[in-house]
Homo-oligomer: A and B are copies of this chain.
Amino acid sequence: MTARIVEVRQAVLKKNDLAARALRARWAGGPLVVSLVSSPGAGKTTLLAATLARLRAEGAAVAALVGDLATDRDARALAATGAPARQITTGTVCHLDAEMVAAHLDGWPPATGDGGEGAVAAGVDTLDYLFIENVGNLVCPSSYDLGEDLRAVLLSVTEGEDKPLKYPTIFNTSDLALITKTDLAAAAGFDRAAALANLEAVRPGMAVLEVSAKSGAGMEAWLELLRTRQPEKARRASITAAP
């Protein structure tokens, strides 16, 4: 039975890898695609809402896909920023896969806005940034490539400094760690040195940013990282923003 499960799982992953490759090819000249993974409640949606709002304010075309087992609460919360946001409901599945992402791109996002700042032309390929918020889970998403350029794993100061050691795969398959809810660090008794040491132990040299979407602390460094990873789009944004 176990051998058969492994066999099916490998076939699923191979199929996912092909779908992810197709997405990556499609987006080669398109948006910077950033996925967010974390425990439930580590602050993905709150960080993403703040990120969308700021990027839109500087003229970037942004949109978000968001995965959840049930409800479209996150998509509605994100849409409140004015950015197009689309929910992918997974039912009982504990992660997004590349085919789910591909299946939600047809005719999306629709053209929005008046052509001014933050306006979005029709179609995902016209975006500057596409964000994909995965289902809250530190295990399942690690095995599924979504064709993203950058995978950021969030670790909130309230969930314990040992998470990188206990869930090594998700940290190993991420490009960047975001320590979130730093406004609660003192109240939670967060041991910053231990958290950084544990990240370094699991993935030596991993980039780490510390942010609070609530207070705004660290947000500029996160946005600057996004702008830097998409030089062409960053240039366009800076021209738009020039006096």
Residues of A at the B interface (CB closer than 8 Å) are 1, 4-5, 8, 11-12, 15, 39-42, 68-71, 73-74, 92, 94, 135-140, 143, 156, 158-160, 162-163, 165-169, 181, 184, 187-188
Q: List, sorted by A's number, 23 A–B pairs whose CB atoms are closer than 8 Å.
A: A1-B11, A39-B39, A40-B159, A40-B163, A40-B167, A41-B156, A69-B166, A70-B168, A71-B166, A73-B165, A92-B139, A92-B169, A94-B94, A94-B137, A135-B139, A136-B138, A137-B137, A140-B140, A156-B158, A158-B188, A184-B184, A184-B187, A184-B188
- The number of times this chain is found in the oligomer is 2
A167 contact set on B, CB distance < 8 A: 40, 69-70, 136
Q: Report A158 CB to chain B, min CB distance, Å.
A: 4
Nearest first, the 6 closest Cβ-Cβ pairs linking A and B are A41-B159, A94-B139, A158-B158, A187-B187, A39-B40, A41-B160
Chain B contacts for A8, CB-based, 8 A? 1, 4-5, 8
Which residues of B have CB within 8 Å of A41? 39, 42, 156, 158-160, 163
